[in-house]
Structure 1
């Protein structure tokens, strides 16, 4: 997975992230700033997911994107 694409286009990707994980706030997204580990942590925090579940959900979401 080439997460650099997400980091490089974070401003455009934030909307897609919010569509998928609506409990994340704009402030959360500003702090995350494209960093995958930060995104995993915030998803765990907001949704009460275990780390493996957050990682899998991100992988699934990333795989569905049309880059």
Structure 2
């Protein structure tokens, strides 16, 4: 498995840093997506763009397309 008694070499440290940076970037991207969706949903609620029945109809038709 992973021997923790030896310190990581230069390649392992570089890999850890690369993975850490990739995970942080992914987290930032996902948070931005969530904020964007929340903002667009709140705008839709204020404008009253769709009624619950219209949303249900859209879900039903999208679910039937296989």
TM-score by length of 1: 0.30
TM-score by length of 2: 0.30
Greater Rg over alpha carbons, structure: 2
Which protein has the bigger helix share? 2
Structure showing greater relative contact order (alpha-carbon pairs closer than 8 Å, 6 or more residues apart): 1
